[in-house]
A and B are shown apart, each in its own frame.
Chain A
Amino acid sequence: MATTKEARPYVNPYLAGTLLGVVLFLAFFITGGGLGASGALTHVQTGVLSWFAPGHVDRNAYFADIAGGRKNPWASSEVYMLVGTAVGGLVSGLVNRRFKLEFRKGPRVSTPARVFFALTGGAIMGYGARMARGCTSGQALSGVATLSAGSLAFAFAIFASGYALAWFVRRLWT
């Protein structure tokens, strides 16, 4: 089995970046829009919410914009891209023998703590991504590639607060 063998090493970051840049360029070149993830996750979240509370989705302007009335949150280019992203990650993981059930964390942190911080960090990330109208891919990567001024400011803001906080939570990762 491929997965039992040693995982292949990651490619050179500049090569990976160039591949990413070419994919990003093709996205803009063919469709006129960039890459992204958090927009699609907004559709997924609203779609799931509308199964349980369709009335609530209709009454909340933010959700109604995505799944209100007869709008279908699942049939959107973002969601198709999300599915593609998962498939692309899966295929690359299989080919490079990294498709393996694993739980990854820093060396000094307990599993429950890692679960707690992954959940909390994810929630904070999701909240911030919607406030910034995009995540690292949709706002920073795609925005800067088209020279959007706000996107560059946003990219530096992520790194700034990440570095500012890193020392205080070093037990999580080092």
Chain B
Amino acid sequence: MLPIDLAATLGPVGTALLFGAIGAGFGAALEMGGFGDTRKLAAQFYLKDMTVLKVMFTGMIVAAVLIAGATAFGLLDMSRVWINPTYLWPGIVGGLIMGVGFVLGGFCPGTSIVAASTLKVDGMVFLVGVLTGIWAFGETVSGFQGFFFSSAMGRFTLADWLGLPVGATLLLLVAMALLLFWLGDLAVARFGQGKPWAEISLRPGRTGFAAAAAIVLATVVVMARGQPTPAEKFALLGPAAAQPVEDRSIFVHPAEVVALRKDLNLQVNVVDLRDEHDFNLFHLGGARRVAPGDLARPAVLKGFLDAPASTVTFLVGNGEPAELAAWKELKALGANNLYVLDGGIDRWLELYPVPACIAERAVPAPADPDALAWRFAYATGSSLPAAWPELPSSPDFRSPCGQLVATEGEPEGGEHEGIVWPTYAFQKKVKLKAKVAVKGGCG
């Protein structure tokens, strides 16, 4: 699936040429549309010529339909596509400021480049202004950092906002654009050309009608096809994605989890996939419970996708099958630095046992690998030392059984009123990966 891994496949020269070629297409499309002429751009604001609106919104909806179509047919991995993060208020205020600059200067940055490249002196002057404005921003942004980073909503799409599938959102966007085109033409006829209303036909021309029908039809096809489910998407990712499951490089030994939890440079998240009952009986300290069915919900998924690069997330179930299913789903949705707890909670409790009077192995062991294999006398939550093996001893902890957990070996730094956890040998598996830093041209 595309997009390609630029650094790995193309090298620096190839990458430069590729971006140059894309830029050339961009520049040529703008120039052909008339964006090099400041009068044509400004005419937009006096309802004389709706070229800007038409070119921009046509570009948006054509690209949006093609992108959603490519993801629907399994050609494009949306999780690796850069979606501009939403900083709502800085974006709106910035947009309002830009509108002022647009109507005073008669260009936007991209169009002034095209104007300058075709020797329009006013475009060159505007470009000098843009560079000055960018410099002024760099000099002053430290004075309003708080505002600049406010209302950060991360990767937040219209589909998330509306709570609709991508296809339906797309249809609304296309309908909105078509409505704007129609209203724009009416406004030009009435206010730009001064025709009385009686002479203006409300019916769009035949070509426009055909074009509108074509894009609506394409949108409906994308909508009917639907976006792949996480399971389908994981299959589409191919053998490379399944490799870590095959070679078990995502199954992390509990002792490695403990070691990482001690590392102050890392944010270690533990996501507990079990039901509330088992979660209340025992869970790892600081674990957050997420039902497997909720993983793909936008509000939950955002937490995984927007996590800083120094975050490692462990998925925890009683056994491995539930962990693995969740791992595949989140991987397909683009989560990074994602691992599962080798053997689940059942194994954890073997290595970091709770006092025998609180829990013991269920006999016979449950047939379901995702069932808790320990019987607890009462719910302990994360109150027992076994939930926090990385912490030093708590002087308040007294084993309720009047006996201490049997120990062997060297203390691992974690002592709980005499509890010394054994040292376990493990193979290091967690390798932090930087986020795939694909950025838009204006990033």
Residue positions of A touching B, CB distance < 8 A: 10-11, 13-14, 16-42, 44-46, 48-49, 60-63, 75, 77-78, 80-93, 96, 98-106, 114-115, 117-166, 169-170, 172-174
Q: Which residues of B contact A40 (CB under 8 A)?
A: 441
A-B contact pairs, 25 of them (CB 8 A): A13-B50, A16-B55, A19-B25, A25-B66, A28-B76, A29-B66, A30-B4, A34-B442, A39-B443, A49-B135, A62-B142, A81-B20, A85-B23, A118-B122, A123-B101, A125-B129, A134-B443, A135-B98, A145-B67, A148-B83, A149-B88, A154-B91, A157-B99, A161-B103, A163-B45
Q: Which residues of B contact A137 (CB under 8 A)?
A: 26, 108-110, 441-442
Given contacts A20-B29, A118-B122, contact A38 B109 (CB under 8 A): yes
Q: Which residues of A contact B170 (CB under 8 A)?
A: 147
Q: Which residues of B contact A143 (CB under 8 A)?
A: 83-84, 440
A153 touches B91 (CB 8 A): yes
A31 touches B443 (CB 8 A): no
B158 touches A152 (CB 8 A): yes
Q: Which residues of B contact A123 (CB under 8 A)?
A: 101, 129-130, 132-133, 136
Interface size class of B (residues with CB under 8 A): 35 or more
Q: B397 on the interface (CB 8 Å rule)? A: no
Given contacts A100-B118, A130-B138, contact A136 B108 (CB under 8 A): yes
How close is A167's CB to chain B, nearest CB, in angstroms? 9
In whole angstroms, how far apart are the Cα atoms of A169 and B203 in the complex?
33
Q: Which residues of A contact B111 (CB under 8 A)?
A: 136
Residue positions of B touching A, CB distance < 8 A: 2-4, 6, 12, 15-34, 36-40, 42-46, 50-51, 53-64, 66-68, 70, 75-76, 80-88, 90-122, 125-139, 141-142, 148, 153, 155-161, 166, 169-170, 173, 208, 211, 436, 438-443
Given contacts A26-B25, A83-B23, A138-B440, contact A149 B98 (CB under 8 A): no
Closest to A161 in B: B99
A150 touches B96 (CB 8 A): no
B55 touches A104 (CB 8 A): no
Closest 9 CB pairs of A and B: A138-B442, A121-B105, A36-B441, A122-B129, A84-B23, A17-B58, A126-B133, A132-B94, A21-B62
